[in-house]
Structure 1
Amino acid sequence: METNRQKKIAGVLQRDIADIVQQALREAGVQGILVSVTKVSVTTDLSQAKVYLSVFPSKEGENVLKEIQAVKSQIKHQVAQRTKHQLRRTPELLFFIDDSLEYIASIERAVKGLDNPLENPEQLERRQKK
């Protein structure tokens, strides 16, 4: 159960990190990749923040995550500059890819019958012979 303070800090961090990441992508001249911060959850002691990123197109997710990991300290520094009047210490930022949208899309395809493994047996995993 998150406290109100955790929720408020998570909201501030989500907004600031989204701004910082978007600005970094613009400055790097990256075209055709959309990155959004879908969720931030903060630990009870406010020492860590898990940041979930949604990347479109999804095949670029791993590359974007690697790039963000490489500049994580700079992102934390910029967050600290923006939140210096609200937070005493900036939490350690942990970045993850949020694949929930892909998961929802795969469920929708399955429900609509678009990914029918009976019609397309290559979608099924191969059984191991014992």
Structure 2
Amino acid sequence: MGTESKRQQRFAGVIQEDLAALFQKDGNSWAPGAFITVTKVRVTPDLAIARIYLSFLNTKTAKDDLKHIQSRTGEIRYKLGMRIKNQARIVPDLEFFLDDTNEYVEHMEKIFEKISKEPRQPD
């Protein structure tokens, strides 16, 4: 995948900002108890598909929460459309993915911590 154009980046920024506001307002009904963060939005060159990466905090069931949000994609797309109707001609199809960067960082920190506790071997 090549680099995104300025147009794609601008449009992704608009979607990210409006989706973040939507998740802040309605997120509790889609994933009760979870704090949802829109970490990244990637838009196809024709602006028809937006791939949204979500991070979930305060929940042990992030994958289930993601599935629940994916099942509500139509409702979320409609609400997004109401927010961006004056800024975009079309509302892109939404695809939601789990952003597991935080989990990866935690995993790597545990590995490094384990390594640092091991006794050093003489050179």
TM tier, shorter chain? 0.7 to 0.9
Q: Which residue of 2 aligns with 1:60?
A: 61
Residue 103 of structure 2: aligned partner:
102
Gaps in structure 1 of 5+ consecutive residues? 119-130
**Identity across the alignment (%):** 36
What is the count of residue pairs matched by the alignment? 116
**1:60 to partner: Cα distance:** 1.6
TM superposition score normalised by structure 1: 0.80
CA distances 1:26-85 after superposition (whole Å, capped 9, x unpaired): 456933x21100000001111100000001145321121121112111110111111111
Structure 1 residues 78 and 71: CA distance shift in structure 2, 3 A:
same
Name the residue aligned to 2:36: 35
Aligned CA-pair RMSD? 2.2
User: Structure 1's 21 and 107: CA in aligned 2 closer, same or farther, altered over 3 A?
Assistant: same
Q: Does 2:49 align with 1:48?
A: yes
TM-score with structure 2 length normalisation? 0.84
* 1:86 counterpart residue number: 87
**Structure 1 runs (4+) greater than 2 angstroms displaced:** 25-31
Q: Report the secondary structure of 1:59's partner residue.
A: coil
Change (3 A) 1:6 1:29: closer
Matched, 1:2 2:15: no
**1:75 aligns to 2:76 (yes or no):** yes
Change beyond 3 A, Cα 1:30–1:109: same
